[in-house]
Structure 1
Amino acid sequence: MDGEMKRLTLGHHQKRKPIWKLKGLEYVYLELSVMVSATKPTYPNKLDNMCAGGLASGLKVRHCAIKECEEEASIPKDLTDKLIGVGCVSYILEDKRGIFPACEYLFDLKLPADYQPVNADGEVGAFELMTIEQVMDAIVSDDFKPNSALIVLDFLVRHGFITPENERNYAYLVEMMHIPLQSYFANTTYMLSR
């Protein structure tokens, strides 16, 4: 494949970290994304991450993440300053529109227990508080957007809800969340830069 045909999509997702327990069940916020305008033509009525979006040209990843937190959930700056970068996932999505290699940068954000997200850009239908058990059930159904399911899967692995002890395909799942797209789409080898 020549360089003109290679295209890598970059984006970012924020997950609200579980911050309190009720009867032993941890809670996380997920948004239920409902198509409310022509700007959301894909995956209407599917579960999504609390905030997510593509990378705007010329902006750094963290700045884009903060912007999406403000637009999609009205999260104020004093809280978005606490965004924690927790890695990335890379995958190849195939649907009726085509084949899309993508790399998603991930952030966790600890919010006050009483914080209620409010949509500001009209792209979110509702915010729904779900238990980890509900999330685990939803992730194996078709309730999630495909890329959002992957981000939730990463969250569940990182926080120890999915382990080698309770998931026989653990190693496969972790490997498939980190397809080496960067080496495929790069002409050179990347080195850690400071």
Structure 2
Amino acid sequence: MTAAGILGLAASVSLLSGWRLYVCVFVTGLAMHFGWIAMPAHLHALDVLANPWVIAVAGVGAAAEFLADKVMWIDSAWDAVHTLIRPLGGALLALAIVDPADPRWQVIALLLGGGAAMLTHGAKAGTRALANASPEPVSNAVLSTSGDIATTGLLLAAFASPWAAAAVAILVLGVAIAVLVLLRGLYRRIARKKKPAAP
């Protein structure tokens, strides 16, 4: 795998971890365990994800997140608890993907991986908080289910080829930035409406 492919894979996994960290670990572990994906030889640091115990713990975490993410306000509480966990997990996954022989790339992967996961986590948490403010309960389930499907599909696509990994990274990054910009505008508009008029 080329350097661009490794960077694309590290970026896509980190970005997706900000949405669904446990799903990323669970799906990657299952895919490696059953040989659905052929990992490059230098990615031995990811072998631990194929361990049945790691898969089981990630599966429990993914199931808990799946349920918590469908319930109004519990999803926001879950996101608040994971504000540190998701970026840390994204940083560690990115670190495991880059070549361990080059410490410069490891530091870059750690920093950018954590930042990427924090970016997508912020977009997800902000969107869910806004959805919780709406009176109807359907948007939570729709947003959550869409996140489950998108994360799993995009993760498998990223592992399929270096070009797909780069495309996934660019797509997820673009969506996260667009969502954050949109949320910023919406929150500003809400704040202006709530601000009392000057006498």
TM-score for the superposition, normalised by structure 2? 0.28
Considering fraction of residues, name the structure with more helix. Answer: 2
Query: Which of structures 1 and 2 has the larger relative contact order (alpha carbons within 8 angstroms, sep 6+)?
Result: 2
Considering fraction of residues, name the structure with more strand. Answer: 1
TM-score for the superposition, normalised by structure 1? 0.28
- The structure with more radius of gyration: 2
